[in-house]
């Protein structure tokens, strides 16, 4: 059965990005050498989901419209669903599907695209919250960085209590702390 997993990095005080949607705070932290862990995770992923801010940041940060050859280094040939209400530039040659509306309206298509593998919700926090609200979020994996921000984009702007979250694991990864939770449906 296809699972939806939110894997992300966060500041210690719960921000995914700064107020300008930048991840510069994350790249200032020394490399934690977890590339093999990420490669194993990505091998189990059949499709990705992103919000428009996450997609636009990656697009601009890596200049992917001009350099589409960089896309596979991030996501391979996996279909990527971008939830947006706007027309956005597409990376030439990448399987990017712009969708709008409720998560439930697209879940069957996303799960079918993932095949026998999982779905990675790569960001942002509000989109992840919509998956949780719809009962389609199965796991949260957050790697907390030794950094804080005064303001920014919150990790998960929803109330999810102990009745919905079960801690599965807590691991040190270099300078980071990774927490893994199972999420039950509402």
Whether 10 maps to a domain, the answer reads no
Q: Is residue 8 part of a domain?
A: no
11 within some domain: no
Give the pLDDT of residue 34. 62
Q: Assess whether pLDDT exceeds 80 at residue 160.
A: yes
* CATH code for the domain in which residue 92 is found: 3.40.430.10
Residue 178 in domain: yes
Does 103 share its domain with 42?
A: yes
Q: Are residues 50 and 104 in the same domain?
A: yes
Evaluate if residue 175 carries a pLDDT over 70.
yes
Same domain for 181 and 138? yes
Look at residue 137 and tell me whether its pLDDT is greater than 90: yes
User: 72 or 118: whose pLDDT is higher?
Assistant: 118
* Structure-block tokens of residue 51: 């919000």
Q: Are 108 and 135 within one domain?
A: no
Can you tell me the mean pLDDT for 16-37?
84
In a domain, 17, yes or no: no
Q: State which residues form the domain around 40.
A: 34-115
**Contacting residues for 118 by C-beta, under 8 A, at least 6 apart:** 2, 3, 4, 5, 44, 45, 46
The reply to whether 110 and 129 lie within a common domain is no
Residue 71 domain-assigned? yes
- Specify if 14 maps to a domain: no
DSSP string for residues in the chain: ---EEEEEEEETTSEEE-TTS--HHHHTSPP---HHHHHHHHHTEEEEEEEHHHHHHHHHHTTTTT-GGGHHHHHTT--EEEE-SS-----TTS-EEEE-S-HHHHHHHHHHHHTTSEEEEEE-HHHHHHHHHTT---EEEEEEES---SS-EES--S---TTTEEEEEEEEETTEEEEEEEE---
Report d(CA 1, CA 131) in Å as an integer. 16
- In whole angstroms, what is the distance from residue 163 CA to residue 146 CA? 28
What predicted TM-score, i.e. pTM, was given to this entire model?
0.94
Query: Which of 120, 121, 181, 126 minimizes the C-alpha distance to 153?
Result: 126
What pLDDT band is residue 53 in, cutting at 50, 70 and 90? very high
Q: How far is CA 172 from CA 124, 156, 176, in A?
A: 24, 22, 6
């Amino acid at each position: 059965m296809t699972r939806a997993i939110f894997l992300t990095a966060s500041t210690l005080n719960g921000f995914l990005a700064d107020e300008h949607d930048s991840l510069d705070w994350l790249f200032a932290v020394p490399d934690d050498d977890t590339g093999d862990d990420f490669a194993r995770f990505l091998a189990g992923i059949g499709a990705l989901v992103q919000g428009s801010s996450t997609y636009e940041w990656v697009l601009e940060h890596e200049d992917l419209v001009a350099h589409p050859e960089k896309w596979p280094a991030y996501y391979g040939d996996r279909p990527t669903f971008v939830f947006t209400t706007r027309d956005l530039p597409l990376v030439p040659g990448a399987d990017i599907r712009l969708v709008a509306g409720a998560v439930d309206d697209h879940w069957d298509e996303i799960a079918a695209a993932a095949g026998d593998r999982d779905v990675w919700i790569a960001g942002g926090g509000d989109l992840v919250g919509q998956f949780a609200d719809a009962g389609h979020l199965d796991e949260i994996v957050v790697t907390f960085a030794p950094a804080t921000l005064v303001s920014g984009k919150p990790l998960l702007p929803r109330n999810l209590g102990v009745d919905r979250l079960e801690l599965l694991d807590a691991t040190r990864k270099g300078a980071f702390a990774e927490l893994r939770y199972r999420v039950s449906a509402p």
